[in-house]
Structure 1
Amino acid sequence: MSAVPEPAAVKTAVITGADSGIGRAAAVRLAEAGMDVGITWHTDEAGAERTAREVRERGRLAAVARMDLTRLPEAADTVDALADELGDRVDVLVNNAGTGSAVPFLDLGLDDVRRVLDVNLVGPFLCAQRAARRMIARGEGGRIVNVTSVHEHQPRVGAAPYCAAKGGLGLLTQAMALELAEHGITVNAVAPGEIATPMTGQEDTDVRTVSRPGVPLGRPGDAREAAAVIAFLAGPDASYVTGASWSVDGGMMLMGPMAGSHLTGDDWRRP
């Protein structure tokens, strides 16, 4: 076994799907931590440029590129392109881009299943390979953070491909953690519950004004709360953390995601 490299000062992060939501919040948080940031977008170029502007306002470099994770394997080239633009390195990869479906299992078509699996599982696999190879070549270690979901751990009606992909990404995280540890690369997952983002129809929502009786903390999460956990796992304080899945869900998984999002009252709080 080769010697594990000492963690280097993290300098460059690539975040997929950083045009809004958790990805944007993570980009800003990592910029505040002193990192240059590569930003990918799929349909919202203006959103990606807004993220880049926020990164630059914090004194860091930002690079922007389109990535379509349904076009594999060539979509993973974007990781290398952004790394090249930001000083020929990538110290952190955040696999954040994702998509879902709301179709009953018996009505699913193969194309829809493949699309969800490619974006949420196969694409992150290929992007992580590209980033890890560059990290190993530099010999300074690195961080990979995969954004999964509470549905990495528990299912939801109407989301079979999404649950399968996120569950797969969670176990892929563990396998990667085992294999990349000798190179000083940590690999962890962040599993959000309901977060106020465009994906949940709540962009720019003040989460303190939204009631979620079935979530123990009583509200959705803010994207910045998920980004804070991503930043911890991407930074030096998490140097001995690998192969873990960190729930950011207000306690939703304690209730079960179906109950957490569908209960309409607080009766459950009383015995």
Structure 2
Amino acid sequence: MGRALVTGASSGIGAATALLLARRGFELGLGYRGDADGAKRVATAVEAEGRRAVTFQLDHTEPEAAAAAVDHAAERLGGLDAFVNNAGINHRAAFLDETLADWRHMLAVDLTGPFACAQAAARRMAAQGGGGRIVNVSSVHDEIPIWGGSSYCAAKGGLTMLTKVMALELAQHGITVNAVSPGETATPMNGVPAGTDAADLRRPSIPVGRPGRAREVAALIAYLLEPDAAYLTGQSLTIDGGLTLMSAIPNQKDGGGSQ
């Protein structure tokens, strides 16, 4: 039985990942920032699968405290085998209009906080021995620009490159590190009400014609935690319904989308 922490686990991709991991035998630590009720609902669903669930609060704008929260949650679980670095925010502003305050906030939440949390998780894994798995949830916009995405793209691009450095340095400890880069996903963070089926949302700019489902992204994350994925590290795996095949789309003001 494995022990996994998932940040941003109160809804969307994080919640879907936690539920899938519970079904695959993991005990779960569920990180949330403000939605305590959502985290409790996910914890109840995890426990319904016969697995232990603990919730913990963290705020990436306070990276030292967030890292400490990750470490404490791992201690409550009795150790840590997998860490899904999922929490983040979305933001759009034209480059000429972007403010330094918003720029700093975006990098704090989508890059500095995830760095601190991943470092805390990796330190615990290295100290306990036996290896581990880390998955950073990035975005197709870690490489593909989008209108109004100067701070978002910079943060996600940094997270994906951080993934590669982590993989290089942590391999000696038996820890694999990969990134999952979703395209538009039907989640509350993207303004889609919970319970909405992505098939009901028409997206002509995406080859498959719709946004992704949170559970589809969760399935890819879960694969990276499987024993048979042990030889895969330092990679960024895109799951976007073919969006990145459409080279003109990310440059349109209303095109693209992200996790």
Tell me the TM-score normalised to structure 1 length: 0.90
* Residue 167 (structure 1) aligned with residue 157 (structure 2): yes
Please tell me the residue identity of whatever aligns with 2:150: A
Query: Structure 2: 5+ residue runs without aligned partners?
Result: none
Correspondence 1:181-260 to 2 at 5 A: 181-202=171-192, 203-256=194-247, 257-258=249-250
Contact 1:212 1:261 in 2 (8 A): no
* Residue 151 (structure 1) aligned with residue 133 (structure 2): no
Contact 1:214 1:260 in 2 (8 A): no
Correspondence 1:110-121 to 2 at 5 A: 110-121=100-111
Query: Over residues 103-135 of structure 1, what are the superposed CA-to-partner deviations in whole Å (9 max), with x where a residue is unaligned?
Result: 111222222111110111111111111111111
Q: CA deviation at 1:140?
A: 0.4
Residue equivalent to 1:123: 113
Runs of 4 or more, structure 1, over 6 Å off, are none
The alignment of Structure 1 onto Structure 2 pairs a total of residues equal to 254
| The 10-residue stretch of structure 1 (135-144 or 99-108) with the greater mean CA deviation from structure 2 | 99-108
Tell me, what secondary structure is at the counterpart of 1:105? coil
Query: Structure 1: 5+ residue runs without aligned partners?
Result: 1-9, 264-271
In the alignment, the residues of structure 1 paired with residue 167 and residue 80 of structure 2 have an alpha-carbon distance, to the nearest angstrom, of 17
Identify if the C-alpha distance between structure 1 residues 42 and 242 changes in structure 2 by more than 3 Å, giving closer, same or farther.
same
Tell me, what secondary structure is at the counterpart of 1:119? helix
Residue equivalent to 1:63: 54
Q: CA deviation at 1:47?
A: 0.5
Identify if the C-alpha distance between structure 1 residues 259 and 220 changes in structure 2 by more than 3 Å, giving closer, same or farther.
farther
Identify if the C-alpha distance between structure 1 residues 258 and 235 changes in structure 2 by more than 3 Å, giving closer, same or farther.
same
Please tell me the residue identity of whatever aligns with 1:62: A
Query: Over residues 236-261 of structure 1, what are the superposed CA-to-partner deviations in whole Å (9 max), with x where a residue is unaligned?
Result: 12111000111110011111452699
Residue equivalent to 1:13: 4
In the alignment, the residues of structure 1 paired with residue 252 and residue 18 of structure 2 have an alpha-carbon distance, to the nearest angstrom, of 28
Identity %: 53
Q: CA deviation at 1:182?
A: 1.1
Counterpart pick for 1:25 among 16, 40, 45: 16
Identify if the C-alpha distance between structure 1 residues 239 and 50 changes in structure 2 by more than 3 Å, giving closer, same or farther.
same
After superposition, the CA RMSD in angstroms is 1.6
Greater Rg by CA = 1
Counterpart pick for 2:34 among 39, 43, 49: 43
In the alignment, the residues of structure 1 paired with residue 153 and residue 99 of structure 2 have an alpha-carbon distance, to the nearest angstrom, of 16
Q: CA deviation at 1:171?
A: 0.5
* Residue 132 (structure 1) aligned with residue 116 (structure 2): no
Q: CA deviation at 1:100?
A: 2.1
Identify if the C-alpha distance between structure 1 residues 86 and 260 changes in structure 2 by more than 3 Å, giving closer, same or farther.
farther
Please tell me the residue identity of whatever aligns with 2:215: R
Please tell me the residue identity of whatever aligns with 2:34: T
Residue equivalent to 1:7: none
In the alignment, the residues of structure 2 paired with residue 261 and residue 53 of structure 1 have an alpha-carbon distance, to the nearest angstrom, of 40
In the alignment, the residues of structure 2 paired with residue 255 and residue 167 of structure 1 have an alpha-carbon distance, to the nearest angstrom, of 19
Contact 1:13 1:35 in 2 (8 A): yes
In the alignment, the residues of structure 1 paired with residue 82 and residue 104 of structure 2 have an alpha-carbon distance, to the nearest angstrom, of 27
Please tell me the residue identity of whatever aligns with 1:242: T
Contact 1:214 1:262 in 2 (8 A): no
* Residue 109 (structure 1) aligned with residue 99 (structure 2): yes
Query: Over residues 133-166 of structure 1, what are the superposed CA-to-partner deviations in whole Å (9 max), with x where a residue is unaligned?
Result: 1111111000000000000111111121110000
